[in-house]
A and B are shown apart, each in its own frame.
Chain A
Amino acid sequence: MRKLFSFHGGVHPPTHKDESTRSPIAQAPLPSKLVIPLSQHVGNRAVPIVQVGERVLKGQQIGRPEGKLSSAVHASTSGTVTAIDMQLVAHHSGLPDLCVTIIPDGKDEWITHAGMDLKNTPHSELRKQLRNAGVVGLGGAVFPSDQKTDAHHHQIKTLVINGAECEPYITCDDLLMRERAADILHGAEILRELLHAEEVLIGIEDNKPEAVAAMQFAVEQDKHDKMEVLSIPTMYPSGGAKQLIRILTGIEVAAGVRSTEMGVQCFNVATAYCVWRALAHGEPLLSRIVTVTGNVTDAQNFDVLIGTPLDELVALAGSKPDTDRHIMGGPMMGVDLPAGTVGITKATNCIIESSPKLFPPQAPALPCIRCTRCADVCPAELQPQDLYWFAKSNNFGKTQEFHLFDCIECGACAYVCPSNIPLVQYYRYAKSEIHERERDKKAADLARERHEYRQLRIERDKQEKAEKLAQKEREAAAKAAQAAAAAPVATQNDAQQKLIEEAIARAQTQAAVAHPQNTEALTPEQSAEIAAIEARRAKIREMATDAGADDEPHKQ
């Protein structure tokens, strides 16, 4: 038996998974329309490559990946593009984003597609296919998989496949593992190959014995070597990538560190499945499994086309009339969706129909009594009570000192807080404020650089003028001295000599004055940044010297 590790803290919220695991995955019928956001992944939004009125086929690319970190978007069925515009999307920002609306023609007509020769195709081509097939992390983070399969020359020992599914209510991965275990493992093999990983460890919480059994059976049946399915103790948030890596390998991946640097990479089971479909069958990511549960009559998992309007999906499960909110994700980290019209995206693992009865509003918050129950359950081993205190008092420097950005927003702290303080909201607030300030600072830095550059030019002009002046005076003085040497009258000579000396001294002081330090004008607070500025100035000076005289005279 492999030794499992544990992470600090964690909580045991009621799982509510039974409701949606009673029946198998159902195929959701073709919806009346599809609203497909062009930004369903981390990175740059895909660029629309279809026109309004154009007929598209199932699997046809409608959004082209743009830049290094991006992913393609496809038409989930055949039909006609009726709009490319800003619409509300299923995203935590609650803001509209560019979407392609397609009215299905009911034919569900595929483009020509075929699997790739997995053995003989170079890895770079396979990655390119993942990118063009729109494969992104389906665990919720939606990070483009082509990027994650590139280990950047790091030696990868362990590939972790995440089937933990620790959030209450969500069962889409559970059902996928029960029903499509073999394909998941084929996908895992491809990922192992792409990463050159030695072993594959599949972590599944022990509240999913059927999934564990199905996966173990598939491992044995297809004789997967160095691949282990491990039943891990149920403990939220064991499904966080960092937490699962810790449980299975004992390695702690610190915030801001890529797990590949420590020889591990982690993919969700549904991602592995899509990798297989995309590479072995040439099917882009057009649908995903979505759990519809909560305030519904028939909680169930559906195989849903990306872009299916939320309202049409929840109707399939019998959303009850007193539903007041749709939550995407689980109750711990989920997002309250802005409207029922939004389309299902690649990130939509679960929809919880919510009513005031299901999730009663929190009692009013009391002050923090520093009981540290939050610190006891924090999987990142932070001091949430201190972070709260600093965030509340806008002391953002301190929040960073106390590792605010190590917070994974799992919500365990707020879950146990006896004072009902919405702690995670305070952390989100502090993080967004800090990002905002950093943006402002960058803009200010740019402005300062420009200003410094201008100052530099002005100074240099002054200096050059002073030098020219000094040169002239020197020449004049030399002439005068020659003349004086020739002249016989001593008294006049002396007086002239004195004048010349004075002029030279004046010119010299003038030249010296033309050397003010830019840093003297800075306030003491900025002194810390002087070093950086100096470096930049040196560069600017070089640039200015290289540019020569042609850019300066007329700009004065």
Chain B
Amino acid sequence: MLSSPFIAQPSSVSQIMLRVLLALIPGIALYVWYFGPAILVSITLASITALATEAAMLKLRNRPIKPFISDNTALLTAWLLALSIPPLAPWWMVVVGTAFAIAVSKHLYGGLGSNPFNPAMIGYAVLIISFPVHMTHWLTPHALSGVELTFIDQLNYIFNGVLPNNLTLDAITMATALDTMKTQLHLGLSVNDIRDMPIYGRLAGKGSEMVAIGFAIGGLYLLFTRIITWHLPVAYLAALFATSGIFHLVDPQHYVTPLFHWFSGAAMIGAFFILTDPVTSPTTAKGKIIFAVGAGILTYLIRAFGGFPDGMAFATLLMNICVPLIDTYTQPKVFGKKGGGK
């Protein structure tokens, strides 16, 4: 005898994840527009690695391969990781980061639904700790460098580490907007002087600010299709805005504007795509807000005072640790038991 309910809404994990992948496309399109197609190479590379690792791990764990490989979660991890590292990163870095993310931080913790940490952010953390130099070579938007690498040139560098004869790596790459801000502030420049540098645009880094807007647009799509709720992105961006705003108000020459923080680094993709990973974020509304506010403050603190240029990844991982605790202490009152436990 079967048990009720006998009907179900046509929805599936793979469908939800597919929507999230689709929502990344505006950001990726703008990425390609400003920085060339290299990012597509790393996304493809990461996707293939992720699927292969997922299949291998499922096989090792004696789990059915088909339902899990088609759930699109491995692909999402791959895309998010590829978007977090420099597009010209050598191919083996993408492979190592993705394989680690899937094999260790997902499957060794029990696979889909059981991993305490965001796999993409674990992959990122492994790479930035293991290969810090490679992780600083971000592509300069071609409008700035005056050089436009062809797709073949980019492929050649990613797979063989060879650049066209007349070019050096420094000519086509640079540090990120956040990184430059940090090092120049250390050198004694004021925020205003730094903002006048050619790599900066209206909001933050030239090119990268537009990519951030692309992610925000995708994020709004997720909000309106109810794939995610407002709690995480709104609380995260508000906390980041408030914390950076306080510092900026106190000393505008040493602390850059809140908007700069919103549109540089991983803030936007983090707010809408990384924190919102359901597996590694709290389940209650109140818990989501606590989690995201914590991540927002930590992101700012790491950016302003920490050793890394961006703080999104580590802020996420640190808050991931707190999720069970947050969930335990934010249990909502149930039906009929709100009025003082009547």
A residues contacting B by CB (< 8 A) are 7-8, 11, 13-14, 94, 168, 242, 246, 252-255, 257, 325, 327, 329, 331-336, 338, 354, 359, 362-364, 366-373, 375, 379-383, 385-386, 402-403, 406, 411, 414-420, 422, 424-425, 428
Contact = CB atoms under 8 A, between A and B. Distances in A.
B43 to A, nearest CB: 23
A381 B336 CA distance: 9
Contact of B111 (A246, A362, A367): A367
B4 A331 contact: yes
Interface stretch (B181-189, B209-217, B278-286, B309-317): B278-286
A332 B9 CA distance: 11
B69 to A, nearest CB: 12
B67 A7 contact: no
A385 B113 CA distance: 11
| 4 A-B pairs closest in CB distance | A254-B336, A411-B5, A367-B113, A252-B336
A415 B113 contact: no
A255 to B, nearest CB: 7
Interface string B315-338: 000000000000100011111111
B112 A336 contact: no
A308 to B, nearest CB: 22
Given A366-B13, A366-B71, A418-B13, A383 B336 contact: no
B114 to A, nearest CB: 7
Interface in B1-21: 1-9, 11-13, 15-16
Contacts of B202: none
Contacts of B91: none
Contacts of B332: 381, 383
Contacts of B279: 369-370
Contact of A332 (B4, B71, B333, B335): B4
A144 B112 CA distance: 48
Contacts of A363: 12, 67
B334 A381 contact: yes
Contacts of A333: 4-5
A171 B333 CA distance: 34
Contact of B67 (A168, A331, A354, A364): A364
A14 B7 CA distance: 10
A80 B71 CA distance: 61
A424 B4 contact: yes
A422 B16 CA distance: 19
Given A253-B336, A369-B13, A402-B331, 12 more contacts: A252-B335, A254-B335, A331-B4, A334-B4, A359-B7, A363-B12, A369-B112, A369-B279, A370-B113, A375-B284, A386-B327, A415-B8
Contacts of B12: 363, 418-420
Nearest to B67: A364
22 contacts: A94-B1, A168-B7, A252-B336, A257-B336, A333-B5, A334-B4, A362-B8, A367-B111, A369-B13, A370-B278, A370-B281, A375-B284, A382-B334, A383-B332, A386-B283, A403-B337, A406-B337, A411-B4, A416-B11, A417-B8, A418-B12, A425-B3
Interface of B: 1-9, 11-13, 15-16, 64, 67-68, 71, 73, 111-114, 278-279, 281, 283-284, 327, 331-339, 342
Contacts of B281: 370
Among B6, B67, B71, B279, which residue has the most Cβ atoms of chain A within 10 A?
B6
A540 B336 CA distance: 40
Nearest to A377: B9
Given A335-B4, A382-B334, A386-B283, A367 B112 contact: yes
Chain B contact residues: over half helix, strand or loop, or mixed? loop
A336 B2 contact: yes
B149 to A, nearest CB: 39
B323 to A, nearest CB: 9
A428 B3 contact: yes
A406 B331 CA distance: 15
A422 B4 CA distance: 8
A383 B338 CA distance: 15
A325 B112 contact: no
Given A371-B278, A418-B13, A8 B335 contact: yes
Contact of B5 (A252, A367, A375, A414): A414
Nearest to B114: A367
A363 B196 CA distance: 58
A412 B281 CA distance: 23
Contacts of A331: 4-7
B5 A424 contact: yes
Contacts of B334: 254-255, 380-382, 403, 406
A316 to B, nearest CB: 23
Contacts of A406: 334-337
Contacts of B111: 367
B335 A381 contact: yes
Given A334-B4, A334-B6, A359-B7, A255 B15 contact: no
B204 to A, nearest CB: 32
A205 to B, nearest CB: 18
B342 A254 contact: yes
The listed residue with most A CB atoms (<10 A of its CB), out of B4, B5, B64, B113, is B5
A419 B14 CA distance: 9
B283 A385 contact: yes
A354 B6 contact: yes
Contacts of A369: 13, 73, 112-113, 278-279
Nearest to A402: B331
Contacts of A416: 8-9, 11
A448 to B, nearest CB: 32
A354 B2 CA distance: 11
Contacts of B64: 364
Contact of B1 (A336, A368, A382, A417): A336
B278 A415 contact: no
A379 B11 contact: no
Of A255, A329, A379, A381, the most chain B CB neighbours within 10 A belong to: A381
B208 to A, nearest CB: 30
Nearest to A336: B1
B71 to A, nearest CB: 6
Contacts of A380: 334-335
B1 A414 contact: no
Interface centre among B71, B331, B333, B337 (most CB of A within 10 A): B337
Given A367-B111, A383-B284, A418-B15, A242 B8 contact: no
Contacts of A383: 283-284, 331-332
Nearest to B283: A372
A385 B334 CA distance: 14
A7 B278 CA distance: 25
B120 to A, nearest CB: 15
A332 B5 contact: yes
A242 B327 CA distance: 27
A254 B335 CA distance: 6
Given A367-B112, A370-B283, A372-B278, A254 B4 contact: no
A13 B7 contact: yes
A269 to B, nearest CB: 23
A381 B3 contact: no
A482 to B, nearest CB: 72
Contacts of A424: 3-5
A372 B71 CA distance: 18
B199 to A, nearest CB: 39
B166 to A, nearest CB: 50
A422 B278 contact: no
Contact of B9 (A11, A254, A368, A382): A11
A334 B64 CA distance: 31
